[in-house]
Structure 1
């Protein structure tokens, strides 16, 4: 079975592009992480607020806050699709990297995805 691809686009046949289930779930995680609360009119509470932390000083406090925000948002919005195993936040010099380990509930497969938030202040 295939799901809508993100970002929305048309394929080479002029139809809505689709993607495999695993890629679709990664796309959904990305949408939760990089959508700011209030950005979606019909779901004003949707999102994690992760991008609001881009201009905060890169520190262990920021990493702990980010970990809590990400874990909570993923559990709130995607708990019917995935079970979050862990969220690791790594402070790099110029970016904040978020590693999410999760289990897809449909087939019990384990995945680890990495997302980078560029431009964090140092």
Structure 2
């Protein structure tokens, strides 16, 4: 695959290189940073591009259960298909962190288009438990 297709972009988070210029990311690192940026941005957060991002942020107060995991999976698939055309998403799984009841791991298995090199990215998603504290709000159904 040509390097032109993958390209280079500003590093995220933005920083400077040793020469004082804006640091750039290349190839696989640039794609991974781009994916993280899509997932970490809530729609409406960018004034000049209000549709950009992933709607998982609407689920911060949702209970940790199969329905929430399914909605997160769907939102991740939709946003990456729309905003990261350089990848083909093979699978997205959402699982609770074994030692943290308020963290869900979003495991994205993908490949860069034009390659046969499978890759994965694990993105942590943090939920805020309900103050009600009832069993449906705190127990995981996953």
Instruction: Note the alpha carbon deviations across 1:20-55, whole angstroms, 9 max, x for none.
Output: 311111111111111111111121111111222122
* Gapped regions of structure 2 (runs ≥ 5): 130-137
**1:91 Cα deviation (Å)?**
2.2
Note if 1:62 corresponds to 2:73: no
TM-score in terms of structure 2 length? 0.78
| Kept in 1: contact 2:42–2:54 (CA 8 A) | yes
Match of 1:14 among 20, 23, 26: 20
Matched residues, number: 121
1:98 counterpart = 2:98: no
Per the TM alignment, residue 19 of structure 1 is displaced from its structure 2 partner at its CA by 2.1
**Equivalent residue in structure 2 for 1:118, among 117, 126, 134:** 126
Structure 1: state its 5+ residue gaps: none
Q: 2:92 aligns with which of 65, 78, 87?
A: 87
* Cα RMSD, aligned residues only: 1.5
TM-score by length of 1: 0.90
Larger Rg: 2
Which digits, 9 at most, give the CA deviation of each residue in 1:52-103, with x for residues without a partner?
2122111111000000000011111112x00000100112312011000111
Is the contact made by 2:59 and 2:127 (CA closer than 8 Å) also made in structure 1?
no
